[in-house]
């Protein structure tokens, strides 16, 4: 969201209101006599919350099941190892 400047006295007077703004995603810059002295930023969302936001925005689709990748397609024939093949390829 946006960044908002707020004086120390104003923040102390209306702390609950400003905490609701932070929960909504707004960043507060605390000022003292017009000079910034601190910042209150929203906590990072968990992975689950970020996934839900992506799903709701239509940026991703997920059926809720665990992804099981397919087995590797490459197989080695003979008694050589992958390391042997890699060294041979580099030479």
* pLDDT for position 8: 95
Q: What is the pLDDT of residues 1-19, one digit of tens each?
A: 688 999 999 999 999 999 9
Please spell the DSSP secondary structure of 3-64, one letter per residue.
EEEEEHHHHHHTHHHHHHHHHTT-EEEEEETTEEEEEE-PPPPPHHHHHHHHHHHTS----S
Please tell me the distance from the alpha carbon of residue 52 to that of residue 30, in angstroms, as a whole number.
31
* pLDDT for position 67: 81
Q: What is the pLDDT of residues 72-88, one digit of tens each?
A: 777 777 788 888 888 88
Domain ranges for the chain? 3-57
Task: Return the CATH fold of 3-57.
Answer: YefM-like fold (3.40.1620)
C-alpha atoms less than 13 angstroms from C-alpha of 23 in its C-beta half-sphere? 6
Q: Which tops the pLDDT comparison, 26 or 73? A: 26
């Amino acid at each position: 969201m946006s960044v908002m400047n707020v004086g120390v006295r104003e923040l102390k007077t209306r702390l609950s209101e400003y905490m609701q703004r932070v929960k909504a995603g707004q960043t507060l810059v605390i000022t003292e006599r017009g000079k910034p002295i601190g910042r209150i930023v929203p906590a990072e969302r968990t992975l689950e919350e970020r996934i839900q936001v992506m799903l709701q925005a239509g940026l991703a689709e997920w059926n809720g099941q665990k992804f099981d990748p397919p087995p590797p397609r490459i197989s080695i024939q003979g008694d050589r190892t992958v390391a042997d093949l890699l060294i041979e390829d580099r030479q």
